[in-house]
Amino acid sequence: MGIILSMETVDLIISAPWIVPVIPSNTVLTAHCVVIHQGQIVDVIPYALAKQRYQPLNEQHFEKHCLTPGLINNHTHAAMSLLRGLADDLPLMTWLNDHIWPAEAKWVSDSFVEAGSELAIAEMIRGGTTCFNDMYFFPDATARIVDQSGLRANLGMVVIEFPSAWAENAAEYLRKGEQLHDKYSRHTRLTTAYAPHAPYTVSDESLTAIMTNAEELDVPIHMHIHETAGEITQSVEQYGVRPLERLKDLALLSPRLTAVHMTQLTDDEISWCSDMGVHIAHCPSSNLKLASGYSPIAKLSQSGVNVTLGTDGAASNNSLDMFAEVNKAALLAKAVSNDASAIPAHEALEMATINAAKSLGLEEYIGSLETGKSADLIAIDLSDIESQPCYDVISQLVYATGRDKVTDVWVEGKTLLKDRQLTTLNQHKIIETAHNLADRIRQST
């Protein structure tokens, strides 16, 4: 009689023809599966071997799909989805001063942010995003939808010098930020970061307080920096130095800082970012639409700077499509550097996964499909005519795949999207709420 080996019971096995784990870099696994138990990845192994080792309570087999880590949107303003298309084809400061900030002053509230966040989160789930790094007012409202939806988020503790419906002054922003951090400090899918808006809207005193608090709370800092040439000119006139040098003098340049946009950079500034471990959140679609400039991500990457990707808000993009950002990042890098080999496909995908996880301090938990990490992953259908033929899966994902090919999404092993249908949010209610709010906003403008 042969020896009968006991099999380990697990919650779920997901198998597919291709798995792109991201780590190791530029790797495609064939005929493999992801083994999941209690929300974590316990193995990534050949499917035939998994059938010998594990007894799954549930199993999903995809015949024509690729599995990848969930994408991480490393800069957005989720609730601004309700302002999508409100004021298009305008320069940044005109767009902000004459349209967006007045609209926010009139409409932003707890209920507005809740509705806008729900719209954004539904869009992100359907597009394969499993984590987003947010910067907006009333973050508690966004947190409620994150909690309900099952998505993962890093919520910004916003600081800005002028009053809003959320807070009256910098001191109140800081106080409310600490309350947010304390409230969600034990949540498995919600983390926080300080989110000073920009150098031109936050004082030296507030920035110094933010740096001190960030060290005490051990959280990142997330800030718009060097977004436009006008921002540089304004800083030189007001402070005598460019914004990044001012932040350097204030000791803000560190591995805690994720600098968003960074379209205006000198070689010295790139060296500072490299030497001090600053992360970059590149937002190619928003930068193009607002004519803000081009972030030199090929040069940044070659200098050892960790480059990540974000959509920015849907008011300036106008979508939260991370597949589009991955594609544009790769293409723009080639055009800007005049080098077709700049930012190959696997590097662009890493910017939207493991690189973003590193900038959030979450690389031990998300960003790749590895044993011990959270089971945050997506299934992408590569069977349609737009995906044929498929010589290189990673190239296909970056240059020929859209968010409409994402069919299934899991966070902590929980299904958030199944066969393109949301499982935790009511799509019809979200659309109806967005229509009703848009009608009110339209009638008032």
418-445 pLDDT per residue, tens: 999 999 999 999 999 999 999 999 887 6
Mean pLDDT (whole number) for 277-291: 97
In this structure, are strands 414-418 and 421-422 parallel, antiparallel, or unpaired? antiparallel
Residue 4 in this model has a pLDDT that exceeds 90: no
Per-residue pLDDT, 5: 56
180 occurs within a structural domain:
yes
pLDDT tens sequence across 218-239: 999 999 999 999 999 999 999 9
CATH assignment of the domain containing 297: 3.20.20.140
238 occurs within a structural domain:
yes
* Mean pLDDT score across all residues of the chain: 96
CATH assignment of the domain containing 415: 2.30.40.10
2 occurs within a structural domain:
no
In this structure, are strands 406-411 and 377-381 parallel, antiparallel, or unpaired? antiparallel
Per-residue pLDDT, 1: 36
Asked if residue 378 and residue 283 are part of one domain, the reply reads no
Apex 419 CA angle, 18 and 61, nearest 5: 40
Q: How many structural domains comprise the chain? A: 2
Asked if residue 258 and residue 182 are part of one domain, the reply reads yes
pLDDT tens sequence across 238-273: 999 999 999 999 999 999 999 999 999 999 999 999
pTM: 0.97
* pLDDT-above-90 percentage for the chain: 94
Per-residue pLDDT, 6: 73
86 occurs within a structural domain:
yes
Backbone angles phi, psi at 126, to 5 degrees: -65, -20
Q: In this structure, which amino acid lies at residue 319?
A: S
Q: Which of 359, 382, 403 is the last residue of a domain?
A: 359
Asked if residue 335 and residue 317 are part of one domain, the reply reads yes
Residue 2 in this model has a pLDDT that exceeds 50: no
How many Cβ atoms sit within 10 Å of the Cβ of residue 39? 17
439 occurs within a structural domain:
no
Is 91 strand, coil or helix?
Answer: coil
Mean pLDDT (whole number) for 406-419: 98
How many Cβ atoms sit within 10 Å of the Cβ of residue 151? 27
Identify whether the C-beta of residue 344 lies closer than 8 Å to the C-beta of residue 59. no
Residues 6+ apart with CB under 8 A from 398: 326, 327, 330, 345, 348, 349
In this structure, are strands 377-381 and 279-282 parallel, antiparallel, or unpaired? unpaired
Which runs of E-coded beta strand occur in 317-398? 377-381
Asked if residue 149 and residue 62 are part of one domain, the reply reads no
438 occurs within a structural domain:
no
Asked if residue 169 and residue 184 are part of one domain, the reply reads yes
Compute the distance between CA of residue 206 and CA of residue 210 in angstroms, rounded to an integer.
Answer: 6
Per-residue pLDDT, 348: 98
| Number of residues written out for the chain | 445
Q: Is the dihedral of CA 311, 317, 321, 326 positive or negative?
A: negative
Per-residue pLDDT, 225: 98
Residue 366 is encoded by which pair of tokens? 């998300």
Compute the distance between CA of residue 114 and CA of residue 82 in angstroms, rounded to an integer.
Answer: 10
Residue 13 in this model has a pLDDT that exceeds 60: yes
Asked if residue 65 and residue 84 are part of one domain, the reply reads no
Q: At what angle do helices 427-444 and 110-126 cross, to 10 degrees?
A: 130
Asked if residue 304 and residue 414 are part of one domain, the reply reads no
pLDDT tens sequence across 137-181: 999 999 999 999 999 999 999 999 999 999 999 999 999 999 999
Full domain range(s) for residue 106 = 71-359
Asked if residue 134 and residue 95 are part of one domain, the reply reads yes
Which runs of E-coded beta strand occur in 135-183? 152-159
Residue 360 is encoded by which pair of tokens? 């959030």
Residue 31 is encoded by which pair of tokens? 């005929």
pLDDT tens sequence across 353-404: 999 999 999 999 999 999 999 999 999 999 999 999 999 999 999 999 999 9
Apex 287 CA angle, 266 and 233, nearest 5: 45
Residues of 97-123 as b/e, b for ≥16 C-beta within 10 angstroms? Answer: eebbeebbeebbeeebbbbbbbbbbbb
Asked if residue 270 and residue 169 are part of one domain, the reply reads yes
41 occurs within a structural domain:
yes
DSSP string, 239-263: HSS-HHHHHHHTT--STTEEEEE--
Q: Which of 332, 359, 386 is the last residue of a domain?
A: 359
pLDDT tens sequence across 29-42: 999 999 999 999 99
pLDDT tens sequence across 79-112: 999 999 999 998 888 988 999 989 999 999 999 9
Asked if residue 101 and residue 41 are part of one domain, the reply reads no
Lowest mean pLDDT across 99-108, 198-207, 408-417, 423-432:
99-108
Asked if residue 214 and residue 177 are part of one domain, the reply reads yes
Asked if residue 99 and residue 53 are part of one domain, the reply reads no
Residues 6+ apart with CB under 8 A from 203: 161, 170
**First CA to last CA distance, the chain:** 82
Compute the distance between CA of residue 246 and CA of residue 169 in angstroms, rounded to an integer.
Answer: 22
312 occurs within a structural domain:
yes
Is 52 strand, coil or helix?
Answer: helix
